Homo-oligomer: A and B are copies of this chain.
């Protein structure tokens, strides 16, 4: 059988052949440019998405004007959460933003329902995705409530770096990652710089001592 986008999803590898055929037949490949809003308040996604390429950032905007990043969906993951949520609530507080150019396979809602009904493997995939998201959300609540901001910032810098030595971001964006204020990020970054862990430039942070950051991040992670 030919290579299809299904093969990019580890959790879908064991799908029965008729299910694979249905999925391929009823899915549409869509693309969105960097910066576009995939879904958001008043813009529910009508489809379930399987992300083939790129990264989608899911963040929340509260009435107070504060933003916080909830999680990211990377290639090989799916938006089960959003699919499920649109079933019940369209005053959906979170929005999904393409952080890079994005390609995805879109599955209409009724096909999603059929797949869940017909395929045990697909059910496993869906519930596993739910589980992962929910345990991540639990962990995030714990982190936001109890973790020190310097530890979280160090951790976030390391995660955003993806192993590279510079992170292209602003203090404001880092503040949204943590759900805190820009001033707090600025002060912490100054402290990191004073310790020789990073070097700052306008719109970017260069990591000069990864081990230092890692030690802090591990300290209470």
In the complex, the chain B residue whose C-beta lies closest to that of A89 is B135
B131 touches A85 (CB 8 A): yes
A135 touches B92 (CB 8 A): yes
A134 touches B134 (CB 8 A): yes
Chain A interface (Cβ within 8 Å of chain B)? 60, 62, 64, 66, 68, 70, 81, 84-85, 87-89, 92-94, 113, 116-118, 120, 123-124, 127-128, 130-135, 137-142, 144-146, 179, 220
B179 touches A145 (CB 8 A): yes
The 24 listed contacts between A and B (C-beta, < 8 Å) are A60-B142, A62-B142, A62-B146, A64-B220, A66-B146, A68-B142, A68-B145, A68-B146, A87-B128, A88-B127, A88-B132, A89-B132, A92-B135, A93-B138, A93-B139, A93-B142, A116-B116, A116-B123, A117-B118, A133-B134, A140-B141, A141-B179, A144-B145, A146-B179
Residues of B within 8 A of A133 (CB): 134
A120 touches B117 (CB 8 A): yes
In the complex, the chain B residue whose C-beta lies closest to that of A133 is B134
User: Is chain A's interface secondary structure helix, strand, loop, or mixed overall?
Assistant: helix
Question: Looking at A60, A93, A118, A138, which has the most chain B CB atoms within 10 Å of its CB?
Answer: A138
